[in-house]
Amino acid sequence: PVDRSPEIQEARLKLPILAEEQVIMEAINENPVVIICGETGSGKTTQVPQFLYEAGYASSDGIIGITEPRRVAAVSMSQRVAKEMNLSHRVVSYQIRYEGNVTDETKIKFMTDGVLLKEIQKDFLLLKYKVIIIDEAHERSVYTDILIGLLSRIVPLRGKKERPLKLIIMSATLRVEDFTDNKKLFPVVPPAVQVDARQFPVTVHFNKRTPVDDYSGECFRKVCKIHRMLPAGGMLVFLTGQAEVHSLCRRLRKAFPFRKNKTEGAEEKEESVEETRKFKKSRRKKTMPLPKIDLNNYSVTPVDEGDEDREAELEEEEEDAVGSDIDLDLGDDGLEEGEKSDSSLPLYVLPLYSLLAPEKQAKVFRPPPLGTRLCVVATNVAETSLTIPGIKYVVDCGKVKKRFYDKITGVSSFRVTWTSQASANQRAGRAGRTEPGHCYRLYSSAVFSDFEKFSPPEITRRPVDDLILQMKALNIEKVVNFPFPTPPPTEALAAAEELLIALGALQEPPKTGSLKDLQIAKLSCPISPLGMTMASFPVAPRYAKMLALSKKNDCLPYSITIVSAMTVRELFEEFERPAISEEETEKLKGKKARVLQMRRIWAGQGPFQKLGDLMVMLGAVGACEYAGCTPQFCEANGLRYKAMVEIRRLRGQLTTAVNSICPDAGLFVDPKMKPPTETQVTYLRQIVLAGLGDHVARRIQAEELLDEKWKNAYKTPLLDDPVFIHPNSVLFKQLPEFVVYQEIVETTKMYMKGVSAIESE
């Protein structure tokens, strides 16, 4: 029996899903696989685990597992459910990539989809679980898709063992044909229970004209208008990323300030400090304690969890710094004519995005201060994962920021594009949860009708080498036959197998027979022993290869550090930010000089220097750990504290993974790691080349220089266009003849990042 508080009980009874409890439980009792569709906010994530718990689905012989595509959701939903059920987090727990609070008593476990995938590698039948819920299936994240494919096979196997496993797929949209009309996936069509949305009508207003590019400014004007002219009710604004969110928050706070009592005022001030992403040392310490590293307690999870929002937000810090977001500090000029600061109409403005600290995210669930109107400025996270109460007006810029990959070259770039019709409708729906609402679309209905109907599943949009390696490690040899809800394009599969063969992770097929035979054979190569080792490292196959080669010359601690840094990415703070005062400008200049100096020191001299940016990463992490990895050290040396903490965690995780494969390595994360010797650096460069062998570039020779655009440029085997060393690279000025790069990112030009020099033969 669950002992809920009266307030919780009352709130629950208002949720549409409660009316369907019996229908849902009957469907689950009678079918191995059930699909539940219900609008965001109908109660799927918080209530279905409770239904199952109360129906006895968590017992001594199995627990309830729920997967989320976002870390934020896994953590916050486990806390919410624990609170609703009045149970400790020892019973309702979560596990995400680096951390968790799972215990022997855990009965309901929220986790990221990546965590469950890794568990399948250890125990294919998932015997620990009685139910698996795949949440947010409509998002079609890569891991969600793979899990559904795998579970479609695991469920019947468990049935045969007389230990049935229930699979529940939950979606915020009704578009579930990829799961239901897919005989390869589920030969018996699973029933789909629809939860009545109890949605109030939302009136959609289109702009007559679509702003050419300044959708942020258009958002600002629209919010001002709504706030001045329309009756009470919360507002939710959709923008594409963190910097835009903060910029709009500032402008709105300036336009509609509200005076609060002292304590609230202090809190508000702290928040704007956070927004500048400058560390306020004392605070950071309070809110972000350094993680304790318990090496025995790491569950090793697979390759990076595909939390695209986080990645997009990370990327933005950089753009923001280059000055695309100058209106952050426009001062009063940021206000349009006639938009004078007006404190008679207080607006309570809150940002919301994936990377925001959890305690800040929690603010949006609380009622706004008396006499104010709530205005949440959010990225995509507010579209389906989190439900904000009391929203009556939605302002939708219609855009979304996504990472795009070139299918052949793997070159990636973040782009802001129009969203899909399905997403726009989800956003509009946020306005009608508690009463009839309005959605203001800052684009015309003609533009809307040109949107694609649905966003294509992630698996069709990105390289799949990491997934293929994980699948091969599960002995799925013929990946083409795998029951994907939507298969990745054949070119992507072929490119992945090609890369994995080149890395030695797959056994090369015999070169006999026709070309066609060879192509087919290539698509079903078994994994090699090296591949098995690589698959046990939770990083991209290229980096896993580097780790697998690093035992010689005691290089493991160094390659683990480099690989961690390359996986976490964007270690360095950018600081070409518009300064506020002259004094500030001077300070910034001083800091910049100091930071560049540090990077040159970390890059080393002579042979050390040739390791290039990877040597800088190694030096930066080493120095930071030596100093205790404090926010102060990071601030003083231009390092991103969050990145450093994440690198520390990943180092711990990789160290555990290495030790479990070769116990005689006896590795530990040494905070006082000595710099590598010259021999080690030479060897590290070979290792890097082995992992990034297909990422080589050669400097254009003077005699080949026909066109000015090739000045200082490099040529790669894959691209026709010139690529350049990124200006932030320590090798930017040296221009070695041959380099390997970690990745090419396209902004104004194609830039190589994470560059090392290689010997010319």
Binding interface with ligand ADP (CB under 6 A):
15, 38, 40-47, 76, 80, 365, 387, 389
Q: What is the DSSP string of 674-732?
A: PPPPHHHHHHHHHHHHHHSTT-EEEEPPGGG--SGGGTT-EE-SS-SS-BEE-TTSTTT
Closest separation in Å from C-beta 376 to ligand ADP = 12
Of 45-53, 567-575, 591-599, 644-652, which part binds Mg ion (CB under 5 A)? 45-53
15 binds, options Mg ion, ligand ADP, none, Cβ within 5 to 8 A by partner type: ligand ADP
> DSSP H helical segments within 96-141, as ranges?
113-122
Closest separation in Å from C-beta 293 to ligand ADP = 29
In whole angstroms, give the CA distance from residue 71 to residue 311: 12
For ligand ADP, give the closer residue by CB, 139 or 339: 139
What does each C-alpha distance from 58 to 55, 108, 224, 236, 369 come to in angstroms? 8, 7, 50, 37, 40
For ligand ADP, give the closer residue by CB, 15 or 614: 15
Q: Which residues contact 212 (CB under 8 A, 6 or more apart)?
A: none
DSSP strand pairing (63-68 vs 129-134) = parallel
Contact 107, 61 (CB under 8 A): no
In whole angstroms, give the CA distance from residue 705 to residue 719: 17
User: Is 653 among the residues that bind Mg ion (CB under 5 A)?
Assistant: no
In whole angstroms, give the CA distance from residue 33 to residue 588: 58
46 binds, options ligand ADP, Mg ion, none, Cβ within 5 to 8 A by partner type: ligand ADP
DSSP strand pairing (166-171 vs 129-134) = parallel
For ligand ADP, give the closer residue by CB, 376 or 473: 376
Closest separation in Å from C-beta 33 to ligand ADP = 19
653 binds, options ligand ADP, Mg ion, none, Cβ within 5 to 8 A by partner type: none
Closest separation in Å from C-beta 625 to ligand ADP = 35
For ligand ADP, give the closer residue by CB, 47 or 536: 47
80 binds, options ligand ADP, Mg ion, none, Cβ within 5 to 8 A by partner type: ligand ADP
671 binds, options ligand ADP, Mg ion, none, Cβ within 5 to 8 A by partner type: none
For ligand ADP, give the closer residue by CB, 44 or 542: 44
> DSSP H helical segments within 288-357, as ranges?
308-319
Residue nearest to Mg ion (CB): 45
User: Is 173 among the residues that bind Mg ion (CB under 5 A)?
Assistant: no
For ligand ADP, give the closer residue by CB, 46 or 152: 46
DSSP strand pairing (92-95 vs 63-68) = unpaired
Closest separation in Å from C-beta 68 to ligand ADP = 10
> DSSP H helical segments within 211-321, as ranges?
215-229, 242-255, 262-275, 281-287, 308-319
Applying the rule CB under 5 A, the residues between 447 and 486 that interact with Mg ion are none
At 543, which helix (H) or strand (E)?
Answer: helix 541-548
3-state secondary structure of 538: coil
387 binds, options Mg ion, ligand ADP, none, Cβ within 5 to 8 A by partner type: ligand ADP
Nearest to 243 by CA among 198, 207, 266, 275: 275
For ligand ADP, give the closer residue by CB, 44 or 222: 44
For ligand ADP, give the closer residue by CB, 49 or 691: 49
Of 41-49, 231-239, 283-291, 413-421, which part binds Mg ion (CB under 5 A)? 41-49
For Mg ion, give the closer residue by CB, 81 or 523: 81
Contact 242, 379 (CB under 8 A): yes
Q: Which amino acid is at 741?
A: Y
Closest separation in Å from C-beta 493 to Mg ion = 31
* Number of residues this chain uses to bind Mg ion (CB under 5 A): 2
173 binds, options ligand ADP, Mg ion, none, Cβ within 5 to 8 A by partner type: none
In whole angstroms, give the CA distance from residue 570 to residue 573: 8
Closest separation in Å from C-beta 45 to Mg ion = 3
User: Is 45 among the residues that bind Mg ion (CB under 5 A)?
Assistant: yes
Q: What is the DSSP string of 409-461?
A: T--EEEEEEE--HHHHHHHHHGGGSSS-EEEEESS-HHHHHHS-SSPPPGGGT
Contact 400, 419 (CB under 8 A): yes
For Mg ion, give the closer residue by CB, 78 or 655: 78
In whole angstroms, give the CA distance from residue 35 to residue 21: 14
533 binds, options ligand ADP, Mg ion, none, Cβ within 5 to 8 A by partner type: none
Closest separation in Å from C-beta 361 to Mg ion = 15
What is the side-by-side strand order in the sheet with 391-396?
A: 202-206, 437-441, 391-396, 234-238, 373-378, 347-352
In whole angstroms, give the CA distance from residue 287 to residue 265: 18
42 binds, options Mg ion, ligand ADP, none, Cβ within 5 to 8 A by partner type: ligand ADP
Closest separation in Å from C-beta 167 to Mg ion = 17
Q: Which amino acid is at 14?
A: K
For ligand ADP, give the closer residue by CB, 42 or 564: 42
Residues near Mg ion, by CB under 5 A: 44-45
